[in-house]
Structure 1
Amino acid sequence: MDIGLAQWQFLLALLTGALLLFVVMWIAWHRVAERREAERRIAAARVRSGHVPLEIPTVRAGLHRSGDSVPDTLPGWFIQGKGEHSIVDEQPRIRVRYVDPHGRKAECTMQVEHLDLQKRLLTGRGELPGDTHRIPLHMITGARVAESGQRFNIDTWVDAVRVARRRRGQI
């Protein structure tokens, strides 16, 4: 079993090509990751500056929020110009996946009643009478809007609620 010079050269060229391909893929992957991170940071900064993205549930209201507003599901409220503004819905109905205090995965559909920004705690009532949930935000693994099933980013929503409360002078 003699390996000739031509076979060594072939193996060396193959190894060099594989290494070069690995380096090129690694550089491309890092550039894509950096671009995604930059887009995420820009979106978070826009939310902190007051921009309300379309994936966050909103309500129609004047400058001071009234409790009887209906959820705004159409972006047409921006165009109709009725003297009302679209503000963040602080009490959406969402389906939440979380880890309970015993370490088990759980899921519930809840109407949010209160978001405590200092304690980072979400309080709401479930579908059954007397079914109350108090979920720490760090235990939430995923959320969706209950009616549409659209993904719901809890962190973006919390930032938007914080900005809305600051603008109303509640923080």
Structure 2
Amino acid sequence: MNIGLAQWHFFAVLSTGGLILLALMWFAWHRVIGRREAERRIAAARVRSGHVPLEIPTVRGRLDDLGETPPDTLPEWFIQGKGEHAIVDEQPRIRIRYLDPHGKKAECTIQVDHLDVQKKIITGHSELPGDIHRLPLHAITGARIADSGQRFNIDLWVDAVRVARRRRGQA
């Protein structure tokens, strides 16, 4: 195996090019991850400040129910009392995927009865009589709104419920 200088040069250029390509891919990948993480943190901060994003289950309700007075910058139909705002639904009907206590994947549709923010547990019932589910939030792997099938983030929903309860003085 007699390798000449030209072949060594070719292998050196090829390996250097490969290393540069790997470095560029690593840089781009970490930038994308950083951007996604920043977007996630911004969305969580918005929810904690009271913003209700579209992917969180909501109900329509009047501002009077919350004990707030509507600002005078609202459109006329809001001022006349016909308007409603999106309020976080604390008892949505959701389809969840979770890991049961044995570590097996399971799926069910439940009507949430109670969200314990301190213990981080969702309690709900399904359509079968006596079928009550009590699930820790860390066991839930995915959730969708049962009626529309729209995916939503459980963690953001829990933060939104926490903010809504704090605003009502229930925290």
> Structure 1 residues 80, 94: closer, same or farther in 2, change over 3 A?
farther
Q: Equivalences for 1:32-111 in 2 at 5 Å?
A: 32-62=32-62, 63-64=64-65, 81=78, 82-111=82-111
Q: Distance in 1 between matches of 2:84 and 2:18?
A: 61
Equivalent residue, structure 2, for 1:148: 148
Q: Decide which moves more: 6-15 or 99-108.
A: 99-108
SS state of the match for residue 122, structure 2? Answer: strand
Letter in 1 for 2:36: R
Q: Distance in 2 between matches of 1:46 and 1:161?
A: 13
| % identity of equivalent residues | 74
Letter in 2 for 1:58: T
Do residues 30 (structure 1) and 37 (structure 2) align? no
TM-score (norm 1): 0.88
Deviations 1:75-99 (A, max 9, x none): xxx9963243211001111111111
Task: Extract unaligned runs of 5+ from structure 2.
Answer: 67-74
Letter in 2 for 1:14: L
> Structure 1 residues 12, 79: closer, same or farther in 2, change over 3 A?
farther
Do residues 161 (structure 1) and 166 (structure 2) align? no
Q: Distance in 2 between matches of 1:32 and 1:166?
A: 35
Task: Extract unaligned runs of 5+ from structure 1.
Answer: 66-77
- Cα RMSD after superposing both structures: 1.6
> Structure 1 residues 24, 141: closer, same or farther in 2, change over 3 A?
same
Q: Distance in 2 between matches of 1:106 and 1:120?
A: 19
Q: Distance in 1 between matches of 2:135 and 2:98?
A: 8
Q: Distance in 2 between matches of 1:10 and 1:79?
A: 75
Deviations 1:16-35 (A, max 9, x none): 00000001111111111111
Q: Distance in 2 between matches of 1:30 and 1:80?
A: 48
Q: Distance in 1 between matches of 2:119 and 2:77?
A: 38
TM-score (norm 2): 0.88
> Structure 1 residues 166, 7: closer, same or farther in 2, change over 3 A?
same
